[in-house]
A = this chain, B = another copy of it.
């Protein structure tokens, strides 16, 4: 490739922009169609990059998938879940905020594409062990953040539980399963129902 090719110029000018465009395109396509249903040509077209530019940034589709999990899916879980939980007064309030924001997003959007972490997990965690490790790391951070908040609540007498870790895992399970139902129903109602039931489990104990 000569330095005057359009691609070399793009790379020289804006290498981060190219990588970012690839991640944006792939994150959207994986979320809409799934990882395996997305072809490389779809990614090049959506990102408006050449295959040469792609391979300048990624070894291949698997490395791209891992970057999506680390940089996009983990960031989405952080923004949607970890931040609300960390910044809330109690786990219950943080969990309610996370559910409520997602429900609002689904109601405002066009179609329920589901939780990107759960989508990739159910598609890839068994067949692709390398992906499983990455996906588990995101689930682990999610469970850990909720468990820490529950432990704090328990120490302050805000929540009664013998096992903050198991309760945090349960919260993630309720959310993940309710989102699967939202996807098959194309409705936010299962998340709203899930939050209602979960709120009873997380209610402040009567003193």
Contacts and interface: CB of A to CB of B under 8 A. Distances in A.
Interface of A: 32-34, 36-37, 111-114, 118-119, 121-127, 132, 135-136, 139, 166-167, 169-170, 172-181, 183-186, 190, 193-194, 196-197, 200-201
B184 A132 contact: yes
Given A172-B181, A173-B174, 13 more contacts: A32-B126, A36-B37, A37-B127, A114-B125, A118-B122, A123-B123, A125-B183, A126-B183, A139-B185, A170-B197, A172-B177, A173-B193, A176-B181
A180 B173 contact: yes
Contact of A201 (B114, B177, B201): B201
The 6 A-B pairs with the shortest beta carbon distances in the complex, nearest first, are A177-B177, A173-B177, A176-B177, A36-B36, A122-B122, A173-B178
Number of copies of this protein chain within its complex: 2
A173 B194 contact: yes
Contacts of A121: 180, 183-184
Given A33-B127, A178-B177, A170 B184 contact: no
Contacts of A185: 136, 139
Q: Main SS of chain A's interface residues? A: helix
A169 B190 CA distance: 7
A126 B139 contact: no
A127 B201 contact: no
Contacts of A36: 34, 36-37, 123
Nearest to A176: B177
B132 A186 contact: yes
Nearest to A139: B184
A179 B185 CA distance: 19
Contact of A113 (B126, B186, B197, B200): B126
B181 A193 contact: no
A124 to B, nearest CB: 8
A126 B32 CA distance: 7
B170 A127 contact: no
B167 A118 contact: no
